[in-house]
Amino acid sequence: MMDKDIAFVIKSEEEIAARVAELADVLNKQYKDKDTVFIGVLKGSFIFMADLMRKIDLYCDIDFMAVSSYGSGSVTSGQIKITKDLTLDIKGRHVVVIEDILDSGLTLDYLKKYLMTKEPASLSVCALLDKKARRQVDVGVDLIGFNIPDAFAVGYGLDYAQKYRNLPYIGVLKPSVYSK
């Protein structure tokens, strides 16, 4: 049913699964024997993080934050707010932020600055997607799953107006859907 709204698939379910396993291998090596907290940025990262965490073979904690800058639109509003904060203390711990997509960089820049005030031992970011064409702020990301074109991507956790998150692949939404 939702497939009719997709112009084309950017990354298939199989491509995503293979890349998630590769990212987990890197994280398993990098954080071996470290006191690590993985922080998922809701809502978009929840599917990516669930799949990634099933491949992580480390003693670690998991927490979630919700940070909003989009509302129901297709372009960032630039107004960033934390709508769900951490429940864990990250002071002195190695923190890995799990993000769905790096777009303008505004939200991630804000989030990294905020998390650094909590004095982690280290802070890194693992983002599934990077849309470099939209970058407004140069923000460092340690691990990237895929670079994608400047198109409206949905699926595998990414949404438009809270819809399409449950697609098993990442596709480009037809402009006719979001320009109504």
The pairing of beta strand 60-68 with beta strand 81-84: antiparallel
Q: Which residues contact 43 (CB under 8 A, 6 or more apart)?
A: 66, 157, 159, 162, 165
Place of tokens 């509003």: 77
Compute the average pLDDT of residues 128-142.
91
Return the pLDDT at 70.
55
| Predicted TM-score of the model (pTM) | 0.92
Return the pLDDT at 179.
85
Please say if the pLDDT value at position 67 is more than 60: yes
Cβ 42 vs Cβ 72: under 8 Å: no
Give the mean pLDDT of the chain: 93
pLDDT in tens, 45-55: 999 999 999 99
Q: Which two tokens stand for residue 64?
A: 């979630």
The more confidently predicted of residues 141 and 146 is 146
DSSP classification of residue 139: -
Residues noted as catalytic: 103
Residue 32 CB-half CA count within 13 A:
5
Return the pLDDT at 134.
84
Q: Which two tokens stand for residue 169?
A: 């692949």
Please say if the pLDDT value at position 75 is more than 90: no
Q: Which residues contact 180 (CB under 8 A, 6 or more apart)?
A: none
Hey, what domains does the chain have and what are their CATH numbers?
Answer: 2-178 (3.40.50.2020)
Cis peptide before 43 (omega within 30 of 0): yes
Compute the average pLDDT of residues 95-121.
95
